Amino acid sequence: MKWMAGFTKFWAYVSFGLVCGVILFLFGYVFYRGAGTISVEFLTEAPKGLVLGEEGGIFPAIIGSLFFTGTAVVLGGIPALASALYLVFYCQNKKVERLLHLVIQCISGIPSIVLGLFAYSFLVRDLNLGRCILSAGTALAIMILPFIEVRAEKAFREIPACMIQSSYALGCSRFYTITRIILPACRGELVSGIILGGCYAMGATAPMIFTGAVAYAAVPESLLSPAMALPLHLYLLLAQGATSMDTAYGTAFVMMAIILISNMLATIYARRSQKKWKRS
Amino acid sequence: MRRKLNLLFSLFIYILTALAVLVLGFVIYFIVKEALPLFSEVSVGEFLLGTRWMPIAYTGSVSFGIFNFIAATVYVSFTAMVLAVGVGLGASVFLSCVATDRMRGILYPFVDLLAGIPSVIYGFIGLSVLVKIFLKAGVHTGSCVLAAGILLAVMLLPFLVASCSETMLKEREKYEAAADALGISRWYAVATIILPASFKNILLSMILAIGRAMGETMAVMMVMGNSNLFPRLLGKSESIASVIALEMGTAVYGSTHYHALYGAGLVLMILLFLINIIINLVRSRMVQE
Amino acid sequence: MEEIMTLKHTSVSYDGKPVLKDVSMGIRKNRIMAVMGPSGCGKTTLLRSLNGLLWEEPGAKVTGEVLLHGKNIKEMSTEEVRRQVGLVFQTPSPFPFSIYKNMSYALKYYGIRDKNKMDRIVKEKLQMAGLYEEVKEELGKSALKLSGGQKQRLCIARALTVEPDILLLDEPCSALDVRSTAVIEGMLARLKETYTIVIVTHNIAQAKRIADDAAFVFEGRLVEYGEAGKLFEHPQKEETKSFLEGIYG
């Protein structure tokens, strides 16, 4: 049976090498092909030319993506933190807790395209908001709600129970305990969860195709106007054929750079607050 | 004052938590509401089992059958999971049984990068690399189910690796001392103790991964060719999510076509809820054991 | 002698499983009462029922009365009860910020804004806990960097900042070495002039060293309680005797 040990070892090393190779390839490929397109003009100008993306830059798409992401983070992040706090510090009933977990799991199971359908029917049509940042942002918010909730809940549960009870034992309220101890102690994990949630929202295309993102628009002025978004811009450039491949690679470069930087920031933040109290 | 603040805050928390629950209800309500009118024109059986999808009467009559789309969604997700699981498990073994704590601190965020890459970029790279390879290999136009399966497999890797390596790490901590005491070599212990012990959790992660894959839209849509055919590995096909994303923009509000797209969304959502409920049941069973 | 706290037929159950059965006893002012018993006998639960901390725990159900200065604590506000009954846990649990902020945490909550007054209280309570001399130069240092014994004394000092009448201690020395334990025991002997102390311990030697009164809890029942000297010399019940002889370890 010695071959099993050898085989497992071989398999583990090869698999992990493969995973690393894929990651390096994906980033390397996009950065290599896109680097030529990146310039100050590309980042700060609007698209020009007869065909989309033939000339000019992607500035409105960058700003548009920031608007979509910001809306999603605010609308999705706050209820996510609230339900995580509820589950850890308020909920006294095991059944309610289990139910809430199931609900959150189900929300995370809703495909993003279906969230787009929901936002279209409810916000774009029934509430008559039209295709706008708010409509699409709401769909994205629902998408990232469970994502942030799970991370926040995990961070809250890692705080030692006796620390929380020490605060209660001094007569301090939950509100005071949460704002003075819990949130500061988990700040790193929370910030990192929100950054990653934001990235997730920024990269999603499906929920915004028919709810707020458009092929061409100026820099948005309010949440009730439609806007361009990086992922949809990239998709449209590809869908129209091979005319604007350089712009496509440039757009992909920008998105990958944002992802890479955000992930690094998130890792650093998460590490900074990691279990200071566990050292002893 | 401080008592009022506390009360206000509790209220705030309760309301927002209730909101999160309501959101689920809202989504279900609106999808069902928009899907229902369809079934006064098309029977459920016809919708689920029909293979003709002809939303606009160019030639002949309209017809709404999504069987091929359902089949494609399930087929591509299984393909992806099968492709991902071998590599994913191997990498999990590496992370949980080879890497030191410090290495894990770097490697986990590194592997997580895969989860951060937007699906449209996966689709883009799929188009400009995978599809070209398939084209050279003789697949007509290069777009095919296998290309989508490979892309999806890469997208599933970080989730599989995260959950599997966590399980394996726990199992390893449980058995390591005993295995060492018996003088069993590490790799033999991995193969004969840790992997079998993690089996149930790995299975759960696999089901969860299929769920994730089924909901994926952009990457699949960009490389699968999008034609209403029963899925074959090297043939074109179209997933439920792709149909919705492609046709929602042109469907006339309130038309049967529009309702049919919501119907397709409903089917997809129900499939995913079923998966999540199964996972939940199995998991609570496991906890009880 | 004045009874500052009285338990009348107090029972506690978790999810229907009884943990504490019909306990009645009095806690006397300015004395140290040691509650002893083997681990898992319910002595920690007993302690937690005294300041309403069990109300925070899902599934815990308390029946009977706990009287504080003759008043049922269920009729008082949570804040009022906990302000008068301080509690320090087994594991030293300083908050993850500076020593000074640990000390001023509850003061700020109770609305003390005057910096001078706050400084004075912080200093006074740290002195009471015998920690001031060791940390006076570095009050801004993270409390997590203190040694185990120092952390525990900080927690005691922190509990004192809200001016409780009673201080409950849940095996405060079980995580500490012999020297830190001796320091804390010395401190408790001084503190009883101002406060009433209830200390849970499974360490008989420790109870003998510091206690004025002693109680023995076994399998959720209060077996006997009274003056420490009498209880140690002439235990009335067979179970107490066995425990003191070290049979339940």
Share the mean pLDDT of chain C: 90
User: Residue ranges of chain B with pLDDT lower than 50?
Assistant: none
The pLDDT, as a whole number, for residue B110 is 94
Query: Considering only CB atoms, which chain C residues are within 8 Å of A181?
Result: 95-96
Is residue C13 helix, strand or coil? strand
Query: Considering only CB atoms, which chain A residues are within 8 Å of C96?
Result: 163, 181, 184-185, 276-277
The answer, for C58 touching chain B at a CB cutoff of 8 Å, is no
Q: How far is B186 from chain A (nearest CA, A)?
A: 8
Report how far apart the first and last C-alpha atoms of chain C are (Å, whole number). 33
The answer, for A205 touching chain B at a CB cutoff of 8 Å, is yes
Average pLDDT over residues C14-28: 89
pTM of the model: 0.92
The pLDDT, as a whole number, for residue A277 is 56
The pLDDT, as a whole number, for residue A273 is 67
Q: What is the DSSP string of B199-243?
A: HHHHHHHHHHHHHHHHH--HHHHHHSB--S----TTS-B--HHHH
The pLDDT, as a whole number, for residue A79 is 96
Q: How far is A12 from chain B (nearest CA, A)?
A: 4
Q: Is the pLDDT of residue A279 over 70?
A: no
| ipTM value > 0.85 | yes
Average pLDDT over residues A220-234: 92
Q: How far is B2 from chain C (nearest CA, A)?
A: 8
Report how far apart the first and last C-alpha atoms of chain A are (Å, whole number). 44
Average pLDDT over residues C73-88: 91
* Chain A contact partners (≥3 CB pairs within 8 A): B, C
For residue B133, the one-letter residue type is I
Chain C: residues touching A (Cβ < 8 Å):
51, 53, 56, 58-59, 78-83, 86-93, 95-97, 105-106, 109-110, 142, 144, 148, 151, 155, 158-159, 161-162
* Chain C contact partners (≥3 CB pairs within 8 A): A, B
Between positions 13 and 32 of A, the ones with CB within 8 A of B are: 13-16, 18-20, 22-23, 26-27, 29-30
Query: Considering only CB atoms, which chain C residues are within 8 Å of A175?
Result: none
Picking from B280, B277, B265, the residue whose alpha carbon sits closest to that of residue B73 is B265
Q: A10 pLDDT band (50/70/90 cuts)?
A: very high
Contact A92 C58 (CB under 8 A): yes
- pLDDT, tens digit, for every residue of C170-208? 998 888 888 889 989 999 999 999 999 999 988 888 999
Q: How far is CA A203 from CA A196, A240, B218, in A?
A: 11, 20, 11
The answer, for C108 touching chain B at a CB cutoff of 8 Å, is no
Residues in CB range of A186: below 8 A, 6 or more apart = A152, A155, A156, A158, A159, A273
- Alpha-carbon gap, residue C196 to C166, rounded angstroms: 5
- Alpha-carbon gap, residue B20 to A85, rounded angstroms: 13
Query: Considering only CB atoms, which chain A residues are within 8 Å of C159?
Result: 169-170
Picking from C70, C96, B83, the residue whose alpha carbon sits closest to that of residue A181 is C96
Chain A residue closest in CA terms to C60: A92
The pLDDT, as a whole number, for residue C170 is 92
Secondary structure percentages of chain A, helix, strand, coil, to 5: 75, 0, 20
Q: What is the DSSP string of A180-248?
A: IIIHHHTHHHHHHHHHHHHHHHHH--GGGTTTTB-SS--S--STTS-B--HHHHHHHHHHT-GGGHHHH
Neighbours of C21 (CB within 10 A): 16
Average pLDDT over residues C51-62: 85
Contact A171 C158 (CB under 8 A): no
Residues of chain C with pLDDT > 90: what percent?
A: 49
Contact C105 A171 (CB under 8 A): no
The pLDDT, as a whole number, for residue C214 is 93
Phi-psi region of C15 (alpha: psi -120 to 50; beta: other; left: phi over 0): left
Chain B residue closest in CA terms to A235: B120
Chain C residue closest in CA terms to B3: C79
- Alpha-carbon gap, residue B130 to B152, rounded angstroms: 12
Picking from B272, B215, B219, the residue whose alpha carbon sits closest to that of residue B240 is B215
Query: Considering only CB atoms, which chain B residues are within 8 Å of A3?
Result: none
| Contact criterion met (CB below 8 Å) for C148 and C92 | yes
Q: How far is B254 from chain C (nearest CA, A)?
A: 50
The pLDDT, as a whole number, for residue A1 is 64
Chain A: residues touching C (Cβ < 8 Å):
91-94, 160, 162-163, 165-173, 176, 180-181, 184-185, 276-277, 279-280
Is residue A6 helix, strand or coil? helix
Q: How far is CA B150 from CA A85, A195, B240, B285, in A?
A: 39, 28, 18, 33
> Residue C206 has which token pair?
């420790």
Q: How far is C110 from chain B (nearest CA, A)?
A: 9
- pLDDT, tens digit, for every residue of A257-266? 999 999 999 9
> Residue A193 has which token pair?
């969860």
> Residue A56 has which token pair?
């000019």
- Alpha-carbon gap, residue C116 to B137, rounded angstroms: 82
The pLDDT, as a whole number, for residue A278 is 56
Query: Considering only CB atoms, which chain C residues are within 8 Å of B2?
Result: 109, 111
Give the best residue of B34, B104, B165, B218 to mutate against chain A (max A CB count within 10 A).
Answer: B218
Q: A180 pLDDT band (50/70/90 cuts)?
A: very high
Dihedral sign (CA B267, B272, B273, B279) = positive
- Alpha-carbon gap, residue B197 to B177, rounded angstroms: 15
The pLDDT, as a whole number, for residue A280 is 39
Q: A197 pLDDT band (50/70/90 cuts)?
A: very high
Distance of CA B215 to the CA centre of its chain: 5
Distance of CA B100 to the CA centre of its chain: 30
- Alpha-carbon gap, residue A190 to A94, rounded angstroms: 25
Give the best residue of B3, B27, B223 to mutate against chain A (max A CB count within 10 A).
Answer: B27
| Contact criterion met (CB below 8 Å) for B80 and B156 | yes
Chain C residue closest in CA terms to A176: C109
Query: Considering only CB atoms, which chain B residues are within 8 Å of A263?
Result: 109, 112-113, 116
| Contact criterion met (CB below 8 Å) for C8 and C65 | yes
Query: Considering only CB atoms, which chain C residues are within 8 Å of B3?
Result: 79
Q: Is the pLDDT of residue C87 over 90?
A: yes
Q: How far is C79 from chain A (nearest CA, A)?
A: 4
